[in-house]
Amino acid sequence: MVQVYAEAMSPPYEQLPGRHTIMARHTAHPRFRAMVAERPRPVPGLPGAVRGFAYGFHGERGQWWHDVVYEALVREGGPAHAAHWMDDSFEVAELHVHPDAQGRGLGRGLLSSLCAGRTERTVVLSTLDGERETPARRLYRSVGMVDLLTAFDFPGGGPRYAVMGGALPLSEPLAEYRRPASSNS
């Protein structure tokens, strides 16, 4: 999964061991759920190659991302605004699709499966915030998510992010975002 993360995000190589540690630590968070998409197995009994993965957990105070975003939302819209989005949230910590597998609905399937049946009121996540709309941002908007913070700098440096949120269960994709069914989906 770290390899898919590296291919999708192109981080500096020296950050990858730390990313592995963070991912392993996340598995202990409350109500953790993960989904993995594999390429079909070429040989029965052998694992397929991971093409994408997503995971998340119930957000709560004391978790680094939760606390940083909560405080930023308080500054942006006040305590009630922050509480609405964060007090009963499912936090999508990672959702990545290998570049060779992007554009085929795999990310949408991972997100939908990950959020299906969750009991939290909201879903929140962060995604790269660039000068132009990204496929990831379009995906999140298509299921009803909105920008909560834009051009956000997390402590410690790095690129700017958008923090997005939506109500659970996720909305059906809006018509302008729906892809026609194809054999490649």
Residue 134 backbone dihedrals phi, psi, to 5 degrees: -100, 160
- Specify the pLDDT at position 125: 98
- Specify the pLDDT at position 47: 57
- Specify the pLDDT at position 40: 72
- Specify the pLDDT at position 86: 98
- Specify the pLDDT at position 39: 81
- Specify the pLDDT at position 177: 47
Kindly provide the b/e burial profile for residues 141-154, where b requires at least 16 CB atoms within 10 angstroms of the residue's own CB. Answer: bbbbbeebbeebeb
Query: Splitting the chain (185 residues) into consecutive groups of 10 residues, what average pLDDT does each group show?
Result: 85 83 94 91 66 96 97 98 98 94 92 97 95 89 96 92 97 57 41
- Specify the pLDDT at position 180: 45
Which residues does the annotation mark as catalytic? 140
